[in-house]
Chains A and B, each alone.
Chain A
Amino acid sequence: GESVGLHLPTLSVQEGDNSIINCAYSNSASDYFIWYKQESGKGPQFIIDIRSNMDKRQGQRVTVLLNKTVKHLSLQIAATQPGDSAVYFCAEDDNFNKFYFGSGTKLNVKP
């Protein structure tokens, strides 16, 4: 699909396993972060967000962890399903109305 780059890191997991997708962000002043899922031929879809005053936030089957010390963000998907196969992006808000996106990780769920 349009979102897949030539050298996107790929994470392959078995259906039913948990997935962890990692992201390093660059700006220590960023205070808001979003994870997006992009399927082939579609725009990015909002999954979950977290603000810098939190270090963990849970949604339905998803958890985002934020480590501000090392500027690291992770997305955990529980009981991964084939429908979770997509490219996942993290985005950081630099607090000046700009979002910066990571290069993305392709998640491949094997049945």
Chain B
Amino acid sequence: KAGVTQTPRYLIKTRGQQVTLSCSPISGHRSVSWYQQTPGQGLQFLFEYFSETQRNKGNFPGRFSGRQFSNSRSEMNVSTLELGDSALYLCASSLYGSSSEQYFGPGTRLTVT
């Protein structure tokens, strides 16, 4: 069974630009969660989607948004990029979300210059 895939793996953007990251969950998994990982803040929850609906959201500004498609693939978008948005963005999929095993993708390394 294929694991969680994320594209692109690496991205360099300039301040003020926007970016869209993609995540394909494990086949059959309906929940996709997004996390931001930085050396200073560690792993922080961004949001979770289940059956195309956002079920929960972390404490990030509205510049961070996401969506999920009917095939459970998910995208997250960051608008008006800031230097502090440079991070590893990780996507995790699970069958049901809460209380079920989460499996992570390799992440997308975003660098904002």
Binding site for B on A (CB under 8 A): 2-6, 31-32, 34, 36, 41-46, 49, 51, 89, 91, 93, 95-104
The 8 A CB mask of B73-113 against A (1 = contact, 0 = none) is 00000000000000010101000011101111111010000
Determine whether the beta carbon of B102 is less than 8 Å from that of A103: no
Report whether over half of chain B's contact residues are helix, strand or loop; otherwise say mixed.
strand
Determine whether the beta carbon of A31 is less than 8 Å from that of B99: yes
Q: Which of A31, A41, A93, A98 has the most chain B CB atoms inside 10 A of its CB?
A: A98
Binding site for A on B (CB under 8 A): 4, 31, 33, 35, 37, 39-40, 42-45, 48, 50, 55-56, 58, 88, 90, 92, 97-99, 101-107, 109
Determine whether the beta carbon of B99 is less than 8 Å from that of A99: no
Chain B residue with the shortest CB-CB distance to A2: B88
* List of B residues within 8 angstroms of A102 by Cβ: 42
Report whether over half of chain A's contact residues are helix, strand or loop; otherwise say mixed.
loop
Determine whether the beta carbon of B56 is less than 8 Å from that of A99: no
A100 to chain B, nearest CB (A): 7
Determine whether the beta carbon of B90 is less than 8 Å from that of A95: no
Determine whether the beta carbon of B55 is less than 8 Å from that of A42: no
11 additional contacts (CB under 8 A) given A36-B104, A41-B106, A44-B92: A2-B39, A3-B37, A3-B88, A32-B99, A34-B101, A44-B104, A89-B42, A99-B45, A101-B35, A101-B44, A102-B42
